[in-house]
Every structure is written in structure tokens, then in C-alpha cells.
Amino acid sequence: MSDSTYTPPEVWTWEAPSGGQFASINRPISGATHDKDLPVGQHPFQLYSLATPNGVKVTVMFEELLAAGHEAEYDAWRIDISEGDQFGSGFVAVNPNSKIPALLDHTGDTPLRVFESASILMHLAEKFGAFLPKSGPARTETLNWLFWQMGSAPYLGGGFGHFYAYAPEKWQYPIDRFAMEVKRQLDVLDRQLAERPYIAGDEYTIADMAIWPWYGQLCLGRLYNAATFLDVASYKHVMAWAEKIDARPAVKRGRMVNRSFGEPEMQLRERHAASDFDTRTQDKIGG
């Protein structure tokens, strides 16, 4: 079945936005579009992010570290990707790829930039000695699954999510193609979780924190309104794991940080202190 009569030209050129929800911010070049300094708060860690699945990974990690008693206080500044904040000169200096999340670690002599969500998770895990085994097979297995997520999620987000939820037209071929791959990935997870309580084994790790915001939230009906379409309820072990992670207080807090959509009580657009969860959510401050 053919969805289009489009014939690719010999050399592709960018002429205009191609449509869809995020067309206005997509472009085939990198670099800053405007000068804009990043704000800096009082804490050692400065996070510039948004509550997309990739952003949630890192805010969950920070909240889990704090819940475990580590000195991991952070300021979280919202980067509005719909307005092109990620192309400001300050943000591009922290992440030349112009993607959230991005972190500045001020704990050393000079600020250290850390970008890509898996790199941030590893950086924090190694700095605090938490949620990543220090050596041996358990460490390797955790990293296996961390990088599995980084390689797999583009099929869920940029592939399935784009064509199912955001593309200007519904085309059967790409939706079928990426739905098949996402279901295969869910089956991979389901088979693993049939034999262990967490993704990498008996312990909760950064592998769970990386995978849950994508596949856990998909199964909980929070991504693309696609839970029924993908029959996520049939992946019983993934569903049980998703609900278990969702019940963690630090995960609930992490989901709220840099969030600007959904229920006002779940939106903490900036986070600068633990008390902000009680006093600074959108249902309390409005606007």
C-alpha cells in the first residue's frame, strides 16, 4: 500500500517547515539563533530541561538522590522548546546539540557541562555512588539496559510518536512500521521483567530511571494516547513494573519538575528547593 507519490530529488534542500506540531522549531543546521544567557541559581547543580521523557529521567534521578540522603540539591530551569529556548546562545554552550536535558555541574573548580540524558545519569550515579553498581556483571548489565534505552527510544518517540500523534497526516505505512518495533521492544522488556523485579536485576538503578519515563509512561497511558492502540495491557510484567516505579514518591516529584502541561497541581515549572513542591505548583501560584 502506497501512502504518497513523492519522489525524492537527487539532492534534498530545505525550503519550508514540513508541517506537524513541532515543524516551526525543526531545521537542518545547528548552532544558536539568538543571544540569551542562562539563569544560574544557588545550588551546585544547574539543570536546564523540560518534563519530556528525557527530561524526567534526570529530575527523577535528582529526587531519588535527595530521598536517599545525598547532597544533590539542584536548580531546575524550564527550557521551552516550543519557543526555541534550546537555540539560545547560553543553552547551546552547554549542549551544542540543542536538546534537553543539559546540566552544569558547579562542584569543581570550573563548571562542567554534561549533556545527553544517559551521560547525566551516569555522571550523577558515579559522583554519588548511587543507583549504579561500582563494578562487575551488575554494572555491565545496568549499562546494557541504559544504552538499550538510548538506542530504542527514538523508534518510540521520533518514529511511532511522531507519525501516530504529531504528523500532519496519518499514513499507515510508518505507523505500522514503528508500532511493530515498539511492540517488539515492549516484548523485550516484558521477557526481562518476567525474571527480575527491576530492569537490570534485583536493584533499582539508573536503567529503570531511563526506561520508565518512556516505556513505563507509555503503558500508563501518558504518551501519545496510544495505550489501547498498542495493547499495552498485554505486557503484564511491564505494566506491573511501570506501576511499581510510578508509586515511588521521588518519581512523582521528578515528573512534576519543569512540567508545563497537564494538571496544574502536577506542574512545578521551576524547582529551586524541596519546599517548592508544596508552595510553587501552578495550582498554587497560577499564571
Q: For 174-211, write each residue's pLDDT tens digit.
A: 999 999 999 999 999 999 999 999 999 999 999 999 99
Instruction: Report the alpha-carbon distance of residue 142 to residue 134 in Å, rounded.
Output: 10
112-115 vs 102-105, strand pairing mode? antiparallel
Q: Is the backbone of residue 82 left (phi > 0), alpha (psi -120 to 50) or beta?
A: alpha
Instruction: Report the alpha-carbon distance of residue 85 to residue 266 in Å, rounded.
Output: 22
CATH number, domain 136-248 = 1.20.1050.10
Q: For 157-170, write each residue's pLDDT tens digit.
A: 999 999 999 999 99
Provide the β-strand partners of residue 78.
49
Q: For 99-108, write each residue's pLDDT tens digit.
A: 999 999 999 9
Q: Mean pLDDT, 10 residues at a time, over the chain (287 residues)? A: 75 78 82 97 98 98 98 98 96 98 97 98 98 98 98 97 95 97 98 98 98 98 98 98 98 98 97 98 90
Ordered by start, the domain boundaries in the chain are: 15-131+257-287, 136-248
Identical fold, 15-131+257-287 and 136-248: no
Full-prediction pTM beyond 0.75? yes
Instruction: Report the alpha-carbon distance of residue 244 to residue 221 in Å, rounded.
Output: 15
74-78 vs 112-115, strand pairing mode? unpaired
CATH number, domain 15-131+257-287 = 3.40.30.10
Residue 5: CB atoms within 10 A of its CB come to 5
